[in-house]
Amino acid sequence: MADEKTEKSPPPMTVDEETGTTEKIDPTIAEHAKDADEALAVFEDLHGEVITLDEETNKRILRIIDWHIMPIMCLVYGMNFLDKTTLSYASIMGIKTDLNLVGDDYQWLGSLFYFGYLAWEYPTNRLLQRLPLGKYSAACIIIWGAILCCFAAVNNFSGAIAIRFFLGVFEASVTPGFALLTSQWYTKAEQGSRVNIWFSFNGWGQIFGGLVAYGIAVGTDRHGSSIEPWKIIFLVTGLLTVCLGLIFLWVVPDNQLNARWLKKEDRVLALARVRVNQQGIGNKHFKIHQVKEALLDPMTWAFFFYALIADIPNGGITNFFSQLITSFGYTAEQSLIYGVPAGAIEVISLLGSGFLGQYTNQRLLCSTGGLIASIIGMILVVALPLTNNVGRLLGYYMTLASATPFVALLAMISSNVAGYTKKTTVAAIYLIGYCAGNIIGPQVFRPQDAPRYVPAEITIIVCWGVCLFILAFIWWWYRVQNEKKARVRASPGYAPMENQEWMDLTDWENHELVYVLAILAIFVFLFLRTLYRLVLHPLRGIPGPKLAAATSLYEFYYDVVEGGKYIWEVERMHERYGKTDARREIVFIKLTRDKGPIVRVSPGELHIKDPYFYDQIYASSSNGKRDKDAKLVRSFCCPSAMFSTVSHDLHRSRRAVISHLFTRRAVVNSESIIQDKISKLSSRLDSIQRVGAIVSLKAAFGALVSDILGQYLYAEDLHYLDDPKFKNDSMASANELAAKIHVFRYLPFLVTLFRSVPLTLLRSVHSVSDLVDFKLWLRQQAQDAIHHKDRSTMASGPVFAALLSGNGPAEEKSLERLEDESFVLIVAGDSISQTLSVALFHLLKNKQLAQTLREELKQVIPTPTYQAKWSELEKLPYLTPVGQSDYFVHQDPAVFPDPDTFDPDRWIRAGKENVNLKSFLVAFSKGSRKCIGINLAYAVLYLTVATLIRRYDMELYDATEDEIRTARDFLLSRPEKGHATVNVVVKDILTT
């Protein structure tokens, strides 16, 4: 065979077809070309026959390859990650206790896997070259699955170490083997996205593993098990791996020449389509000169040091992510389920960077974005206070994008490193760095640093920062080498050898091979966009911080990291940057103060601090049509609701369908519903007074408003007022989601992810289980309404009847539309309960105000148990400013002097002076987007405040103004602690 190959190898001469001259080939390269690729024999046997591969045929072959190769590679790689991380799940399921792990035993269990991986990495790469690629890979998969099953039989630390070591030995083949398979079957243009796809199944593995581990943990806790939970997870994942290994053995061939699922002619076409790679499909001979070249190539060591440094964080996070999540304040079970979204983030980041890199031909740079996001995420984990567990969890999720450059470099080894021996050597060295980093990684999470592990987290940030410089060096080096190759190809007398792509030449020897690399176009784009925003944008002359004008990250910091604090930063902007010459930029605004009311608060947004301009902003005329901010409404998690509707015209049509339910006449006609619920609250307060218990007004008012809305909108009594503690977990959970509104605004994919998770699965997450129960109830109500839409409208409540009436399009009567609209309508009632809490706080704090109001109320409520009508209460001169003052908090001292003071008399004084303060009230908004429930809100406010002040003598209990002072903006105003609790004691029930 060797002699045959020698005879068939081309001589060290080639003919330039254009000039007819014979060119001399470098004798060293000619000698190396004699030991050619396996595919060369196939093409020489064609005796010059031309193979045509049109686009349609190429796509057909690619589809066949994708459907046979990619699914099994993806599943196996997902199990490869899951098999490594089962130890992390087991760490909070009892393995530490059962194996008597003490001190740093667990860290060493994490590291021992990579010792086995490291010891066998180079030998397995040689075997991948020497042995049939498909069969050897399948054997390793089956063996590592069997070894994982054996973990269930371990009962001490020594046995666990042995299992982890040999698990690393046999898993060492999967990444280099899959990289070889990808380079063998796909063109360079296709390789990046394919590597990202199968590598992204690390994320799917984490999703699947988290759900399985959570199910096992919860199931065994509730129903018991004769086997420890951590042993079950090892058995399940191990057996699944063995099954996948057997499928892999049957499906995946060693190369195109023995693919049973390809016709004979298609096998040749499958080879022809990868000719452009200039690399061939394999050579089983070991070539020492390629090893030397690999060791001398600076890129080999750039790859090695990147893998080493980047995988120090990976080794730590992979083995400690469950414990890291519990350090944020979550339970062990919650840490399992909260690990699931992390897998989704990894999938999205890998697929996104892979396809974007293929589309833009900028693979390296597209992947760098994931590393930058990870650095920001870990900074959040370190910098945020322990109390901000959600922000720290978000930061952890962002770190899962860190794998994108690692995968990009793995794909670059497939596409840029030529010569089969050199390719396997570079891949081995790269993965040796990967092993070494993962060995070091668990050791930086020292037991004495628990539970926060701050030194480890800082180490991770530094490592990723260094990796950015390594990526920049790789890009620069490949760019220089491509320029050198271009000069060689352009030199006089240069001509490639015939069938050079099948000669198993290295990338240094083959000048036809052009390195795949990313250019800095994205950075250039970002730079030019920033320059445009600062210099050429129409808003360039508006005063404000340059950073806010350049990037939305300025607002992101205050609203996401600080938690709803941007509005106060905007206030500081007005103090610092406001100036009168802003009129030159916006001539249609009439300025009324020495300080300019206009500042630029983001790249495309102005903030106008001028109460006289509100009417122009909220104009509802035909010329005043304005669509809602799409970036803002996407954060509401209810895209089909009227409140989240972007289009002005669509919002108008949706509003028209239900507006008749909220007219003044409709509210008056249903006033008995409000009165009945207030009477029920009064009965509860009577009982509380008799036992001398403390009552939370926030809880009581939340239950009251929810029960009113349930009856008013859905003809259903929600019975929150019947709960001994007015427990209303649905509203509380909704408020927890509302606190994430800024996160959803900047990371909208989280909304998509949240809505895509089945409600029955979300129900198992304790923090939102009550909210999910409520949404499931609403869904059932909506389904019943759709099913019975031709029957009585009251069977499912007036809202569903209204939404299903009329001749609107089918999508406006869909289940999603009904669910979203009904959910927003009832959750919006939280603002009423918040306002009632604030009003009662001020009235109870200032006894003189309460007494003045009580005396006035006696005019229409002669006895404490008398039920006055809303229309009667509106006519009272003092109750009306009380309601207006507490409900609309405005901070402009020019309009409302001393705005933080609760001063109802300001409205009476303004009336005497013919000043219309009401024109400056915008809490319900104005124009076409005005709050649809304003009449219902007023009725509840008037009737509730009047009833409680007239009927009870209450006293604040350990309540301070900090509980009701607005300190955070999450669409709804919130105090620093989140809600206006306002605890009170009902001292007496008034009789006169």
Nearest to 598, CA basis, from 588, 612, 586: 586
How many other CB atoms are found less than 10 A from the CB of residue 97? Answer: 10
First to last CA, the chain: 114
Determine whether the annotation assigns residue 140 to a binding site: no
- Collapsing DSSP to helix, strand or coil, 859 comes out as coil
Plot region of 64 (φ>0 → left; ψ -120 to 50 → alpha; else → beta)? alpha
How many other CB atoms are found less than 10 A from the CB of residue 802? Answer: 17
Cβ pair 23, 14 in contact under 8 A = yes
Q: How far from chain centre, in Å, is Cα 312?
A: 24
Q: Per the omega criterion (within 30 degrees of 0), is the bond before 451 cis?
A: yes
Cβ pair 877, 909 in contact under 8 A = no
Task: Output DSSP code: residue 900.
Answer: T
Task: Output DSSP code: residue 589.
Answer: S
* Pairing of the two strands 972-974 and 605-608: unpaired
What is the rounded CA–CA span in Å between residue 682 and residue 986?
A: 11
How many other CB atoms are found less than 10 A from the CB of residue 120? Answer: 21
Alpha helices in 634-728 (DSSP H): 648-658, 664-669, 671-691, 697-714
Burial class (CB in 10 A: 0-12, 13-18, 19+), 908: middle
Q: How far is CA 565 from CA 480, 545, 907, 970, in A?
A: 48, 16, 30, 9
Joined tokens for residue 836: 């009632």
What is the rounded CA–CA span in Å between residue 901 and residue 896?
A: 10
Q: Quote the longest CA-to-CA distance of the chain.
A: 119
Cβ pair 68, 194 in contact under 8 A = no
Cβ pair 730, 703 in contact under 8 A = no
Helical (H) or strand (E) element with 35: none
Cβ pair 589, 610 in contact under 8 A = yes
Residues 6+ apart with CB under 8 A from 193: 354, 355, 357, 358
Q: Which residues are annotated as a binding site?
A: 931
Query: Residues within the annotated binding site for heme?
Result: 931
